[in-house]
Amino acid sequence: MSDRDGYPLTEDDLLPLSLGAAVLGTGGGGNPHIGMLRVRELMRKGATTRIIPLDALPDDALVSEVGGIGAPLVGIEKFEQGEECLRAMRALEDFTGERFAAMISAEIGGANSMEPIITGLQAGLPVLDGDGMGRAFPEVQMTTYFIYGGKPSPAAIADEKGNTLVFRDVIDMYWLERFARDAAVAMGGAAGLATAPMRADFVRRVAVPDTVTQALTIGRTILDARKRRRNVVDRVIAATGATLCFTGKITDVRRELKGGFVRGEARIDGLGDWAGSEARIAIQNENLVLWVDGRPVVMVPDLIMNLELDTGEPITTEVLRYGQRVAVIAMPAHALMKTPEAMAVVGPQCFGYPELTFAPLAHAPVTA
Amino acid sequence: MIRIGIDVGGTNTDAVILDGARVVAGVKAPTSGDVMTGVVEALKKALAEAGMQASQADVMMIGTTHFTNAVVQRRNLAQTACVRLCLPATASLPPMVDWPDDLRAVIGGHWWLAHGGNEFDGRRISPLDEAELVGIAAEIRAKGIASVAVSSVFSPVSDDMEREAGAIIARELPEAHVTLSSDIGRIGLLERENAAIMNACLRDLSRDVVEAFRRALAGVGFTGRFFLTQNDGTLMDAAFAERFPVLTFASGPTNSMRGAAFLSGVKDAIVVDIGGTTADVGSLQKGFPRQATVAVEVGGVRTNFRMPDVFSIGLGGGSHVLEGGARVGPTSVGYELLSKALVFGGDVLTATDIVVADGGIELGDPARVAGLAPDLVRRARDRIAEMLEDAVERARVSPEPLPVIVVGGGSIIVEKPIAGLDLIKPDHFPVANAVGAAIAQVSGEVDRVYSLSEMSRDAALADAKAQATDAAVAAGARRDSIEIVDVEDVPLAYLPGNATRVRVKAVGELNV
């Protein structure tokens, strides 16, 4: 289990990893397909990296967390020049005079599962098997790193044009989110962000563990189910202990771009066991709250995912479309995401739903 | 009302005549190298079978798999240049990065990244550089390329730069076709750019094909209205089709699936349409092809069209049988089946020859395949069965035992049930494509910007739906048959007044 060498990431891992990351992206996190192609291009040019467990590094080694910041809609249209995150990470090394030993993801869900791998490939560094969310969330402070005391500065943000900003002193994580978000919007809605260096012993304690491997497992389950002509939604549910919450057809999707976020709502008319019911999903980049017939059923930080009903393809919020037939499934968030400290940062009230009290999704028994 | 439906496949050209909902004639003729001869022959045969004159027909709908086949087989594709306006953004993934190597090689893999492109809010990533584009045009000219695709970051939100760059390139290269990505696709740069590049590499072929249709129809004395079918099963006029051949992608599968539903009366099934070169497999839900959710691949390339969830395998009646029967397809004798296949006196071993040799059907001169090694015949027959079973299993999305409707001229190579499912071969099964074309629907589309500070979003959507419905009626749809099939709104945050771009598509039955 704790083989400290981890395993090399190969080109064959990329499709399952991107599929699994899309599922854990809970509708957001950006399109992992673009990131997957970028990783593939780097691998084909000879770059290599390894996925190593959280306990692989000495306590005082420094870990760099990088990720893209911006609206997913921007990510599928104006994708990266390529070295945004690398420039942001190098800016922090220049600023602190210290070198990083490994990369880690802020969010395993979506494109940001790939960013630390891309930077790892470019810088020749390994990538830790874990992340700061176990899913995707829209804002920088919504990671276990920040929730459990990670420093907000120094941080750096870089765009494709050559602009790199270092945030020298930032008083808390909300200010970092505000500055980084405004900078990303000014930079055209997408940028690479490197947050403050973290010690390996801290990361070992607060990161959601094994999530790179989890994403790979989910992706392999989907691909295997397709190959064996099994019902993909059923297999994903069996492999992850997820709950089937609704099936239906999308009847309306409304979106607004506001301050670098896509905010909106999808409406779904029930099919099958849910015929005659209507569901509503609130979106802020990710799926936030699911209501069925007006009753809140699942809410953040638990995970809400739309899978295409027949193929099990995860559907991100930017491609949600009228007429799609979906299965809405949910998974409980990691325990690190449900403590009182975490609730103050990622509970429903943090997304503009003060009327909702977090009711955790029960962990369904795994029936595989 | 008299409707003529024509389907031009790689191997056969099919023609049907429908009087109302009744098929009064259904014929096949070999697709000829010049297209036109085969179309004329099929038309004449169909008219003779129905005892009619071409002038009696009210309307003609033509579906063609020419363009899809050209991409799948990597044939008749022009060397193409892609110019993306983007720098310095998006340089991590150049154009065609996700294409199969062989297809990229066939069209030359020529691409240039240039300055330009927009941010999501309409600002410029960098200014358009005319001198840079003139230089790129000179390099394109020096390589002898006359097909150009222009893409630009966020061109669905603001297409000014793409149009300006297109005009500069057209001015510098007056002989070239220029395809703009914003004319074809939606948000999603790689997929939209892929579609634009494929459209560009098909423009030489589309000019020839559409012109051939025009002459063929005039030659037989047809005087009614003439349409081509597009990927969503709706109709477009010839001039539009010539400019946008890529929009005919998957029209063949859509037509055959709708034709299969119409002919069999079965609304939920797996449809396998086997032609001379390829077999298209998809699933029918309530009489319509299941729509693909995310990216659809054509010839291995991702696009973001609204398309039926259909995939092609390289298996048809004319597929080459190679390696002692271990390999069948994807190459094919195509339209030359009736001269090249062994049973028809030729010297090429095809899938059809195998079925004849195996005793599955009597066709041509069976004596000419009597001497084939039994081992080879068995291996090839098993390989064909395995390919069909794989394809049907892949199209099944549930363990539910749906029937398999087999249509298309090449379906003679199906001898028994596939994957243990009920097999249906409806009347007129060889010409289901043409029947589907004949019953194709008419669409109306609206694509405009609404200011949501002046009206609510619901009111804007209702207005757009009403306009799309009116446009469909104006294009010839029966009002009571119209359905809204696509609604999309993209906020344009950079414009004052909370502007939103709304696209709505309505389709209905042709009212004649």
Secondary structure (3-state) at B205? helix
Residues of chain B with pLDDT under 50: 494
CB contact under 8 A, A76 and B189: yes
- B448 and B423 both lie in a single domain: no
CB A50 within 8 A of CB A7: yes
CB A135 within 8 A of CB A21: no
End-to-end CA distance of chain A: 21
- Asked, for residue B182, whether it belongs to a domain, the answer is yes
- Asked, for residue B390, whether it belongs to a domain, the answer is yes
- Asked, for residue B55, whether it belongs to a domain, the answer is no
Nearest-5° angle of CA A196, CA A199, CA A202?
A: 105
DSSP state of B335: G
Can you say how many angstroms the Cα of residue B428 is from the centroid of all Cα atoms in its chain?
22
Range of the domain at B503: 440-508
Phi, psi of A253 (to 5 degrees): -135, 120
- B446 and B401 both lie in a single domain: no
Task: Give me A11's structure tokens.
Answer: 């080109």
Buried/exposed A129-142: b ≥16 CB within 10 Å, e otherwise: bbbbbbbbbbbbbb
CB contact under 8 A, A78 and B154: yes
Backbone φ/ψ region at A126: left (φ over 0), alpha (ψ -120 to 50), beta:
beta
- Asked, for residue B467, whether it belongs to a domain, the answer is yes
Q: Within an 8 Å CB–CB cutoff, is residue B274 touching chain A?
A: no
Whole-number Å distance between alpha carbons of B293 and B299 = 18
CB A26 within 8 A of CB A136: yes
Segment B459-490, tens digit of pLDDT:
999 999 999 999 889 878 899 999 887 788 87
Whole-number Å distance between alpha carbons of A185 and A203 = 29
Q: What is the dihedral of CA B463, B468, B470, B476, to 10 degrees?
A: -170
CATH of the domain at B163: 3.40.50
- B430 and B488 both lie in a single domain: no
- B143 and B159 both lie in a single domain: yes
pLDDT for residue B512:
65
Q: Within an 8 Å CB–CB cutoff, is residue B188 touching chain A?
A: yes
Secondary structure (3-state) at B2? strand
In a mutational test of the B interface, the residue from A14, A19, A77 whose CB has the highest number of chain B CBs within 10 Å is A77
- Asked, for residue B217, whether it belongs to a domain, the answer is no
Return the HEC string of B441-452. Answer: EEEEEEEEEEEC
- B410 and B446 both lie in a single domain: no
pLDDT for residue B122:
79
Residue at a domain's end among B419, B435, B451: B435
B289–chain A nearest CA distance, Å: 13
Residue at a domain's end among B381, B405, B435: B435
Using CB atoms, pick whichever of B125, B394, B490 lies closest to residue A188. Answer: B125
Q: How many domains does chain B have?
A: 3
- Asked, for residue B464, whether it belongs to a domain, the answer is yes
pLDDT for residue B234:
85
Beta strand A155-158 pairing with A127-131: unpaired
Q: Within an 8 Å CB–CB cutoff, is residue B396 touching chain A?
A: yes
| Residues β-bridged to residue A105 | A66, A131
pLDDT for residue B78:
95
Rg over CA atoms, chain A? 19
- Asked, for residue B125, whether it belongs to a domain, the answer is yes
Q: Which of B223, B262, B246 is nearest to B66 (CA)?
A: B246
Secondary structure (3-state) at A333? coil
pLDDT for residue A364:
44
In a mutational test of the A interface, the residue from B84, B92, B187, B489 whose CB has the highest number of chain A CBs within 10 Å is B92
Residue at a domain's end among B435, B457, B476: B435
| Residues β-bridged to residue A298 | A290
- B482 and B428 both lie in a single domain: no
Segment A250-303, tens digit of pLDDT:
888 888 766 556 688 999 999 889 999 999 999 988 999 999 999 999 999 999
- B446 and B383 both lie in a single domain: no
- B361 and B457 both lie in a single domain: no
- B119 and B183 both lie in a single domain: yes
pLDDT for residue B226:
86
Residues of chain A with pLDDT under 70: 1-2, 257-262, 362-368
pLDDT for residue B494:
47
CB A68 within 8 A of CB A112: yes
